[in-house]
Amino acid sequence: DVKVTQSSRYLVKRTGEKVFLECVQDMDHENMFWYRQDPGLGLRLIYFSYDVKMKEKGDIPEGYSVSREKKERFSLILESASTNQTSMYLCASSTGFSNQPQHFGDGTRLSIL
Amino acid sequence: GEDVEQSLFLSVREGDSSVINCTYTDSSSTYLYWYKQEPGAGLQLLTYIFSNMDMKQDQRLTVLLNKKDKHLSLRIADTQTGDSAIYFCAEKDLDTGRRALTFGSGTRLQVQP
């Protein structure tokens, strides 16, 4: 089974802090994704990566950056956290084949005070 | 642009069938997914279908695809209290080359004993 592990289930940070969310997958997947989930809005794509050091902006990249130094690890960075970034953050991974689904981690519920 | 729409809420009695509906954008080549999210957890892949199929069945789950109306449904037979969750419909449009999924806002299924 594919395992996608997010480092924290719950995180509380203060406005202006630099925040790191970590995600690791164990299936040698090429693609990795960061989404945020808000009530009534479903999941929205922040960034994704299709290879080491390669990244592309998603639908809502403002206020975020990402890092992929190793194939198994994809980090989401909030450069200067703001209260409107309080949300559930979900990481996913998939192979490079178009017919394969994405597999998700358990999510990180982030609160910015 | 891509748009996936779902109704927000469905309530059924234990033992009845549940039908969760979704509409998606027009594409000749797309994968359509159903994910389940239990409280406090990530997304669990339930099943998926390619746009050249009309139906897929997997134990209690039946997926029906009406390409003419761009309508996808998930039927859960003999619904149990453990089926209470949020169900997300998602689309991967191969024609656009977009690697990420586009999600609906999710349907909350409540199963009453």
Query: pLDDT tens string for chain B (113 positions)?
Result: 458 999 889 999 999 999 999 998 866 778 899 999 998 889 999 999 998 889 999 999 999 999 888 899 999 999 999 999 999 999 988 877 777 888 999 999 999 99
Smallest CA–CA distance, residue B106 to chain A, in Å, is: 6
| Chain B interface residues (partner A, CB cutoff 8 A) | 4, 8, 31, 33, 35, 40-45, 48, 50, 88, 90, 92, 94, 99-101, 103-106
Task: Write the burial class of residue A14 (CB in 10 Å: 0-12 exposed, 13-18 middle, 19+ buried).
Answer: exposed
DSSP conformation class of B27: -
What's the half-sphere exposure (Cβ side, CA atoms, 13 Å) at A57?
Answer: 6
| C-alpha A40, offset from chain centre | 19
